[in-house]
Structures are given as structure tokens and as C-alpha cells.
Amino acid sequence: MAQSTAETLKTTPLIERHIAAGGRMVPFGGYNLPVQYPTGIMTEHKWTREQAGLFDVSHMGPSFLILNNPSGDAEADHAAIAAVIEPLISGDIAGLKPGQIRYTLLLNETGGALDDLMVGRSPLFGGSLYVVVNAGTKDADFARIAAAAGDRAKLTRADGDNALLALQGPEAVNVMAHIAPGAVDLGFMQYGAFDFADQKIIVARSGYTGEDGFEILVPNANATALWDALLADDRVKPVGLGARDSLRLEAGLPLYGHDLNETISPIEAGLGFAVSKRRREAADFPGAARILAEGEGGLTRVRVGLIVEGAPAREGAEILDASGTVLGVVTSGGFAPSLGKAIALGFVPPSHAANGTTLQVSVRGRAQSAQVVETPFVPHRYFRKPKAS
Amino acid sequence: MTTKFTPDHEYIRVEGATGIVGITPYAQEALGDIVFVELPSVGKVLKKGDEAAVVESVKAASEIYAPVSGTVTEVNEALTGNPGLINTDPEAEGWIYKIAIADAGEIDGLLDDAAYADLTK
């Protein structure tokens, strides 16, 4: 976490709401955001799994990448904008349907992840993509994408002028039915524009908790109105960054800068699904040589999930084999409120990565037992629509 | 019976030659939900300022230091099954360990009620 002074911290349009709700404000990604509200991380976490949690994620980097000279042919314009961003990432963007979103990776030339991000194809216009990147990397990501686009397309940042809210949990859909009724027809990883107050909001059925839910881009002028409208529903409580982290960890989702960085490839990180089939066959993404070789089994380390006996093993804790030889390191670890035990993500050689393998983690100089388990630790409950024929 | 405090937010309640050590309500509030407590072993000899225990919240681990020198005589085993006692009742049921005080003079160097209240204002 960056050490910023209060003077240089950015705020979101919801800062007054967070303070009024008793949010404990901390610097995160350059922003002043609540790590928790008075009920605490445990309660907020469980509420999200059972009802609906509301998160302010305005520190993230939403943007639009739009073709400069569209032909008016939606398919041709989509192919043209996909061709702008695909050389930077691992995903098949050309193959997206209108309104469909894909989780993908921004890669460097050696196949390391510069970021993980969401890319959506506009449901309305050809030649327009909705691109959402991480807070800590957004300036570099946007510069990289804009440079690659040159005069073919324009990247317009949507952070700053908009708030980004996440509504997550099994009741999220029933809450959204009263806010933007059309949004409940979205399937997982689809998005659309809907009316709220006097303007449009962009609603994506996506999130970072493993639950069904929505991520909503709302203009600053309407941000507090949307926040208040969502919280007016008894099923919704505000949730801070602390529970956001424990929820995503249980869901086995990587946190950029921890479980994923510029040295870690998608295959090592267990994100092979984010390297689309068409892209693999064409080998036309950065670092393809390394990533394809790793996909064939040429791996020296791979991300695993661990259930840890006893004290939580935090980031940086060494992972050992049964005889005490160091194998790797924990990249995220903590207590899983839904499971009542400590869990961790970390990297070990493939020889020690099979589910059920008993390893150890070193916590304050003592070796504790840890077992390799499948991730997610808590099953995902995304809303997937039946495939249209 | 007196209770004294450290600037690190431990309390020690002195009962004769024994001190009962825990963390203050202010500290538990700041740490949030406690999910794990690493207790010292009985018989462990501690110098003032030594790391005596560790309390873990969902997010982070925090060391609990010895307010005075001495020997651990008893630990609160109830915290193993129910670490949340530190949140719900830090000053009574959420005590962490008892220590046989080696040097009563060290007690005088700790903060009293008023000084600790000033610190956490």
C-alpha cells in the first residue's frame, strides 16, 4: 500500500457517506477509502455472502476505447477496435458478442502480467470497448493502451468524472430490480447502459467476491443518490476494503501486485483460461513463446491454494515441503470468515502442487501444516444464463 | 489492585505479585475482529518489551509485548477456541496471560488511567 499523505490522497464522490457511516478511512491505491465500517470485516464479509454488500471501488480505472473513424458497419468496426487492443493482451476480443465482457491480462514481452483487466464490447455501438483496469496500474495501463492505439482509436478515462460501485451478494439481483430493472436480465460478464435519475449508468454483471452481483459506473453528480438508493434497501450494507480482500481471497481471485505481477505469467498464476483459444493458436500475444511453452508443461512454479492450520500465513511467509525445504512463498493469506480457518495463495513447483499435498508454511519462524486445495476456496455463485441456441 | 497501561495498548492488572495482561478496549477496537491468538507458553521468561503473544485480525498480525519482566504462569486457553473474547470483553474474559512480576519497580514506570486516557484521546 502506498504511503501517501492526507494532502495528496484522492477522494471519491462518496467520501462524506463513508465518514458519516463511521468508515475507518485508510490510504489505498492513492485514494482515501474505508477499510471497514463499525460492524467490522467479519460481519461485512458474511453479510455479502448472505445478503448484499455495497462497495465503493471508484479508485479503479474504468475507461472507453473508441475507434476514431468508424465505418458504420458494427462488425467491421468491432474487428477494427479489437485489433487495436489485442496485441497488448491475451484475450479474444474480436470474438466478443455485443455487451459481453472478458477477463484478460495485459502482458509484457516476456509474458509477465502488467495487469489483469476487464474488456467489454459495447452493446450499442461498433468500435467501442469498455476497459476497466486496476487502481495501482491505471496510469501506466492507459498510457500503454493509448500509445498502441495511436491515431486509430482514442482512450477516454472514465475515472475522476464517475464513481464505480459494486453491489455483491445473492440478494444483489433483487435489489437491482428496483434500481435498474433491465440490469437483472444481464448474465454473468455482460453489461449494458440503463437509466438512473437523469443520466445513464453502466451496469456490468461482474465482481470480485465470487458472488452474483453488479459493478456500476455512475456519473459523479448521481453517485451519492445511487449509493443512498441502494442502501435504502434493508438487504444492502456498506462493505469496506478489508472484506473486499477476504471475499476475493476465498473466491481464489488474484490481487494484482501480490498474486500477479510483471514476472508472473498467466499459466503460472492459474489463469490459463484468460489466454483465449484463438490467441493461443495464432500465438500472437506478448510473451507467447514462454506462455505457450508453459501451457505445454514447462513450468517451474504454479499458484496453489492452501488451507493453513493455526495462525494465518500472510504475504511473504515461506512455503516448505514436509521436510522443511523452502519451495516458494505466500502471495496472499489471511483468515477466511466463511470457512473459519486460515487460507492462502502462493507459488510452489508443480511437483508439489497437486490437491491434497501436505506442505508447511513458516509463520514467525515456526512451521505449520498446510494442505494444497482446489480454488476457489468458497464456490463461485455467478449468474450464468443458459446459452442461447 | 491497580491497572497500568503501556503506550502499545497492553494493560496489566496487578494482583499481588501477579499481573494479568491483555489489550485495551481501544486496541481491540483498532484491530477489529480477532480471529487467532498465539499464546505464550507457561514458564516462558519475558523481559519487559519482549514479544509475548500475537493477536491476528482478518487483515493483520499484531505483537503483544510484555509490559514488565517476569515469568508466564497461566494463559487464557479460552482464546484458542474463542479469540473474539478479546473483542467482546478485553478487560475480563479476554485476558491473554498472567505473569509473575519479577520487578515491582517496573510497574511504577507504566501509564496510569489518566495518562493512558490522554494518550488515546
- Tell me the pLDDT tens digit for each residue of B7-49: 999 999 999 999 999 999 999 999 999 999 999 999 999 999 9
Backbone angles phi, psi at B60, to 5 degrees: -155, 160
| A348 and A238 share one domain | no
Q: What is the pLDDT of residues B1-12, one digit of tens each?
A: 799 999 999 999
| A78 and A93 share one domain | yes
Bridge partners of A66, per DSSP, are: A128, A154
| A66 and A153 share one domain | yes
Give yes or no for A35 touching B (CB within 8 A): yes
Asked whether the beta carbons of residue A312 and residue B33 sit closer than 8 angstroms, the reply is no
Query: How would residue A388 be classed by pLDDT, with cut points 50, 70 and 90?
Result: low
| A20 and A81 share one domain | no
On chain B, the residues whose CB falls within 8 A of the CB of A243 are 58
A311: nearest CB among B56, B58, B59: B56
B68-94: average pLDDT = 97
In whole angstroms, what is the distance from residue A364 CA to residue B27 CA?
Answer: 22
* Bridging pattern class, strands A52-56 and A236-238: parallel
Residues of A370-387 as b/e, b for ≥16 C-beta within 10 angstroms?
bebbebebbeeeebeeee
Shortest Cα–Cα distance, A312 to chain B (Å): 8
In whole angstroms, what is the distance from residue A332 CA to residue A338 CA?
Answer: 17
Q: What is the pLDDT of residues A243-278, one digit of tens each?
A: 999 999 999 999 999 999 999 999 999 999 999 999
Domain CATH number, residue A234: 3.30.1360.120
| A54 and A93 share one domain | no
Last residue of a domain, one of A107, A137, A157: A157
Asked whether the beta carbons of residue B32 and residue A246 sit closer than 8 angstroms, the reply is no
Query: How would residue A288 be classed by pLDDT, with cut points 50, 70 and 90?
Result: very high
Would you tell me how many other CB atoms lie within 10 Å of the CB of residue A299?
15
Grid cell 498502441 is found at: A148
- Lowest mean pLDDT segment, chosen from A217-226, A275-284, B57-66: B57-66
Give yes or no for B41 touching A (CB within 8 A): no
Grid cell 482512450 is found at: A155
| A109 and A124 share one domain | yes
CA distances from A338 to A34, A47, A53, A113, A206 (A): 21, 10, 15, 30, 21
In whole angstroms, what is the distance from residue A343 CA to residue B3 CA?
Answer: 37
| Domain-located, residue A30 | yes
Q: What is the pLDDT of residues A328-353, one digit of tens each?
A: 999 999 999 999 999 999 999 999 99
| Domain-located, residue A189 | yes
| Domain-located, residue A385 | no
Q: What is the pLDDT of residues A92-146, one digit of tens each?
A: 999 999 999 999 999 999 999 999 999 999 999 999 999 999 999 999 999 999 9
| Domain-located, residue A186 | yes
Give yes or no for A310 touching B (CB within 8 A): yes
**Is pLDDT of A6 > 60?**
no
Position A1 scores a pLDDT of 42
Q: What is the pLDDT of residues A25-36, one digit of tens each?
A: 999 989 999 999
Give yes or no for A373 touching B (CB within 8 A): no
Domain count, chain A: 3
In whole angstroms, what is the distance from residue A197 CA to residue A180 CA?
Answer: 10
A246: nearest CB among B56, B58, B61: B58
Last residue of a domain, one of A183, A218, A250: A250
Of A130, A121, A71, residue with least CA distance to A98: A121
| A66 and A115 share one domain | yes
Domain CATH number, residue B33: 2.40.50.100
Position A8 scores a pLDDT of 84
Shortest Cα–Cα distance, A243 to chain B (Å): 9
| Domain-located, residue A272 | no
List, in sequence order, the alpha helices (H) in A200-340.
220-231, 241-250, 277-282, 288-295
In whole angstroms, what is the distance from residue A121 CA to residue A119 CA?
Answer: 7
What's chain A's average pLDDT? 96
Last residue of a domain, one of A157, A191, A217: A157
On chain A, the residues whose CB falls within 8 A of the CB of B61 are 311-312, 314, 364
Grid cell 461485512 is found at: A44
Asked whether the beta carbons of residue B35 and residue A335 sit closer than 8 angstroms, the reply is yes
Domain residue limits at A363: 300-373
| A194 and A82 share one domain | no
Of the spans A2-6, A323-327, B55-59, which averages the highest pLDDT? A323-327
Asked whether the beta carbons of residue A312 and residue B56 sit closer than 8 angstroms, the reply is yes
Complex confidence, ipTM = 0.87
Query: How would residue A7 be classed by pLDDT, with cut points 50, 70 and 90?
Result: low
| A235 and A193 share one domain | yes
Give yes or no for A242 touching B (CB within 8 A): yes
Domain residue limits at B89: 2-119
| A238 and A184 share one domain | yes
In whole angstroms, what is the distance from residue A318 CA to residue A333 CA?
Answer: 12
Position A386 scores a pLDDT of 80
Give yes or no for A240 touching B (CB within 8 A): no
Give yes or no for A245 touching B (CB within 8 A): yes
Q: Are A62 and A117 in contact (CB under 8 A)?
A: no
| A180 and A316 share one domain | no
Cell of A72: 458504420
Asked whether the beta carbons of residue A335 and residue B36 sit closer than 8 angstroms, the reply is yes
| A201 and A333 share one domain | no
In chain A, DSSP assigns E strands to: 24-28, 31-36, 52-56, 61-67, 101-107, 113-121, 128-133, 153-157, 162-168, 191-196, 199-204, 213-219, 236-238, 302-308, 318-320, 326-336, 341-348, 358-363, 366-373
